[in-house]
Amino acid sequence: MIGVGKAKQYANVLDKPLSRGRQEVSLSAFAFLFSELVQFNQAQVDNIAELERRLEDAGYAVGARVLELLCHREKGNRRETRLLGILSFIHSTVWKMLFGKVADSLEKGTEHEDEYMISEKELLVNRFISVPKDMGAFNCGAFVAGIVKGVLDNAGFPAVVTAHFVPIEGQQRPRTTILIKFAEEVLHREARLG
Amino acid sequence: MALVAIYSLFIINKSGGLIYYKDYGSSGRMDTNDSLRLASLWHSMHAISQQLSPTPGCTGIDLLQAHNFDLHCFQSLTGTKFFVVCETGAPNMEILLKVIYELYTDFVLKNPFYEMEMPIRCELFDLNLAQVIQKDRVALLGR
């Protein structure tokens, strides 16, 4: 509303602090929207790999924007340039902004040097989703994997990111692990930087 | 506190088709045909009761009391009916039905792989329902 209150006037719109906006949206509204997103994409494809790719693409666009916004809002227009830096940025800053909490764990793959894993006991997008048996290992976390890929790619860390269900002992529900496999050049650069 | 025995749970869609059936009692098990028949029978009885009721604005039978069981029914705004068959005089069944309705809206309707009006096959719904039915005896009484 124009002229209401005594809002500080900024000569340049870019000087204005970026509003944090409302911090939370309704989980139900999100769940229904996400459900529709999955259903829409499912109607467009004829195999599960294609559906996974489409969800990932949807997430990618989110990731690219989230990176831009958070670098500006949280880090004073600086962006992480080191591997561990960007991973912990995703694990804490990005996760907190998207899901209201830090991710449950961030681990390095034991078998391969270039693999990292972010695990979540109950991924927010999967909260209400039961994947039917005939869809095999399909995981709607592909959307979140896409977000991670979007952040990494745009920060200059090209990587292949996938979402998997990993059963935990003594638990009925498997957890979701986001597997990040970095491109070779990223590791070379990292080694050069020491 | 005495345990409340719930014999079975039915969910029927707005055209009277059985979309979920769960048996908790050990005696008097029904086969698939019987449960389907019972569900559509209840659907029709419910509809007729609405027409026959002398009070205007009647929404159908909420409670059917028999010698050896009670049948509690809850109809959602969209016409989906939930009903439990339990032992006579079991308290708090209305609340239980509302909780089950809540689970249905969460784990069935928000699941992209569920087709409306079709039988419910959602792992999370089964899981959470089992928990509620287990806990029901303790937790619901306090609500």
* A173: CB partners within 8 A, 6+ apart: A122, B127
Residues of chain B scoring pLDDT < 70: 1-3, 26-28, 136-143
pLDDT for the residue B82: 95
**For chain B, what is the domain count?**
1
Alpha-carbon distance of A178 to B6, in angstroms, equals 41
Does a structural domain hold residue B48? yes
Going from N- to C-terminal start, the domains of chain A cover 26-193
Query: Is A39 near chain B, with CB under 8 Å?
Result: yes
**A34 close to B (CB below 8 A):** yes
Q: Does residue B1 belong to any structural domain of this protein? A: no
| A28, A36, A130 ranked by CB distance to B124: nearest | A130
pLDDT at B99: 93
Q: What is the 3-state secondary structure (H, E, C) of A39-82?
A: HHHHHHCCCHHHHHHHHHHHHHHHHHHHHHHHHHHHCCCCCCCC
Chain A residues near residue B116 by CB distance under 8 angstroms:
none
Min CA distance, A116 vs chain B (Å)? 29
The continuous run of DSSP H or E covering A176 comes out as strand A175-182
Q: Of A54, A26, A53, which is closest to residue A40 (Cα–Cα)?
A: A54
Q: What is the ipTM of this complex?
A: 0.82
* pLDDT score, position A179: 95
Angle between helix A48-74 and helix A27-44 axes, rounded to 10 deg: 140
* Domain assignment of residue B18, given as a range: 6-142
Per-residue pLDDT of A36-45, as tens digits, reads 999 999 999 9
A28:B122 CB<8 A: no
Per the CB < 8 A criterion, the answer to whether A143 and A158 are in contact is no
Task: Look up the CATH number of the domain holding residue B74.
Answer: 3.30.450.70
Residue B41 lies in a domain: yes
Is position B120 within any domain? Answer: yes
All residue ranges of chain A with pLDDT < 70 are 1-8, 20-22
Q: CB distance from A64 to chain B under 8 Å? A: no
- pLDDT value of position B1: 39
State how far the Cα of B106 lies from the Cα of B124, in Å rounded to an integer: 10
Please tell me the predicted confidence (pLDDT) of residue B44.
94
- Out of B110, B113, B125, name the one closest to residue A131 (CB): B113
Residue A36: its chain B contacts at CB < 8 A? 112
Q: What is the pLDDT of residue A39?
A: 95
Q: Which pairs count as long-range contacts for B72-77, CB under 8 Å and 24+ apart, including other chains?
A: B72/B96, B72/B97, B73/B42, B73/B46, B73/B97, B74/B98, B74/B101, B75/B46, B76/B101
Assign domain A26-193 one CATH number from 3.40.50.1700, 3.30.1380.20, 3.40.50.300, 3.40.50.10800.
Answer: 3.30.1380.20
Which residues in chain A have their CB less than 8 angstroms from residue B124's CB? 128-130
Cβ–Cβ below 8 Å for B127 and A172: yes
Reduced to 3 states, what is the DSSP secondary structure of residue A130? coil
Contact B82/B104 with Cβ under 8 angstroms? yes
CB contact at 8 A, B111 and A35: yes
Q: Å from A133 to nearest chain B CA?
A: 10
In a domain, B71, yes or no: yes
pLDDT at A78: 87
CA distance A78 to A174: 36
